[in-house]
Structure 1
Amino acid sequence: MRRLWLPLAVLGLVVPALAGAGPSGETIPLEGNGPGERLDVTLVQVVDPAPAEGPGDVPEQDERLVAVQFRLKNTGTAVYKDSPQNGAYLLDTTGQRFAGSPRATAAGAEFPGLVTVRPQDTALGFVTFEVPRDAEPAAVQFAMNSGFADDVGQWALGSKT
């Protein structure tokens, strides 16, 4: 499992300024690094816990899978070609930041390794995260260009309690 341990206060130094922040379901417009790269990104749903798709996808005993579904609408003039899993992160209430996991879930169709979205077209898919069983997801972030774009969208997640 890839896990980045960063307090939320440090994220401002690691992640460029947030392009938008909002609750789950909100669409946030983002710009990529190249000319004409623009997406409207919507956090569609969060499945927590997400069932593993197969025996090889079952997480360690002290961990669980969380699947987050995004809708990517290309509102720019350039073709968007990227790996959405690389630009998505889940943050928990303690400030830990989790990158996408290669494990598959039965929550729904995941983004393929490489997504190509032509201008005005849309792609829909899940990104899976592997988190400690007791972690409380607080937010999800997404940035274009495998996470290297300056614009970062962030969605607040509701508490499970």
Structure 2
Amino acid sequence: MHARIRVAAVAAAAIGALTMTACDTGSTVVDKPEENAAAKADSGKDAKKGKSPEVAKVGDTLTLKGFEDGSQLDVTVVKIADPGKSANEFTEPDAGKRFVGVQFQLVNTGKAVYSDSPSNGAQVADSEGQQFDSTFADITAGPSMSSSLKLKPGAKGLGWIVFEVPKASKIGAVQFTMDSGFADQTGEWKLK
């Protein structure tokens, strides 16, 4: 009987430590991309030099850090497919819902190997503030993002992550967080 109490106490302490750690991390949202080098080179206007866009939009790249020292990605929302059409007759959205696809490009700009399931850290949010996690589905827009992506420093991954959302929802933002959604920084892209 005492062994069970001791195990329960250890488990409770571990959960408490994880909860305190999660609460104390001070998570931040990154939504301001840096001006890319090509845009700087093409810009002949003094007023635009050195200015970054107000918020990230489709096509912009955000640099995000993970928990592990040296863990960093440049994340780009490349395209949006809304609605996304199922790539097969076996996977369809539930009644009253639709698929929305987001094509992400992940480039490992850190010193550590990136190994994760990117879909675990991706979400979309509608104009009402409702957030939707990814779902397992393939769409006709293109190949899905690998569910077990491993990138050495300098390598990149490209693929679609699919979300199932209510037909009436107007998607207003895309979010991505490293470490299956548990890292301190969350990238956010506005859609209009």
Q: Give the TM-score category using the shorter length.
A: 0.7 to 0.9
Number of the residue aligned with 1:26: 60
State the TM-score, normalizing by the size of structure 1.
Answer: 0.86
1:146 counterpart SS class: helix
Deviations 1:74-112 (A, max 9, x none): 000111000000000000001100000112211111112
Q: How does 1:146-157 map to 2 (within 5 A)?
A: 146-157=180-191
* Aligned pair partner of 1:17 in 28, 38, 42: 28
**What code does the residue aligned with 1:71 have?**
Q
2:101 counterpart SS class: strand
Residues 57, 105 of structure 1: 8 Å contact kept: no
Please give the root-mean-square deviation of Cα atoms over the aligned residues, in Å: 1.1
In the alignment, structure 1 residue 69 sits paired with structure 2 residue 103? yes
In the alignment, structure 1 residue 60 sits paired with structure 2 residue 94? yes
In the alignment, structure 1 residue 83 sits paired with structure 2 residue 85? no
Instruction: Name the % identity.
Output: 40
Number of the residue aligned with 1:119: 153
1:153 counterpart SS class: strand
Whole-angstrom CA distance in 2 between matches of 1:124 and 1:19: 21
How far the C-alpha of 1:20 sits from its partner, in A, is 2.7
Identify the structure with the greater helix proportion.
2
Number of the residue aligned with 2:19: none
Structure 1 runs (4+) greater than 3 angstroms displaced: none
In the alignment, structure 1 residue 136 sits paired with structure 2 residue 170? yes
In the alignment, structure 1 residue 35 sits paired with structure 2 residue 65? no
Whole-angstrom CA distance in 2 between matches of 1:115 and 1:37: 14
Say which one has the larger Rg: 2
**What code does the residue aligned with 1:54 have?**
N
5+ residue gaps, structure 2, are 1-25, 33-55
Whole-angstrom CA distance in 2 between matches of 1:65 and 1:80: 28
Whole-angstrom CA distance in 2 between matches of 1:53 and 1:16: 36
Whole-angstrom CA distance in 1 between matches of 2:160 and 2:84: 11
Give the aligned length. Answer: 144
Identify the structure with the greater strand proportion.
1
5+ residue gaps, structure 1, are 1-14
* Aligned pair partner of 2:134 in 100, 112, 116: 100
Residues 20, 29 of structure 1: 8 Å contact kept: no
Larger relative CO (CA 8 A, sep 6+): 1 or 2? 1
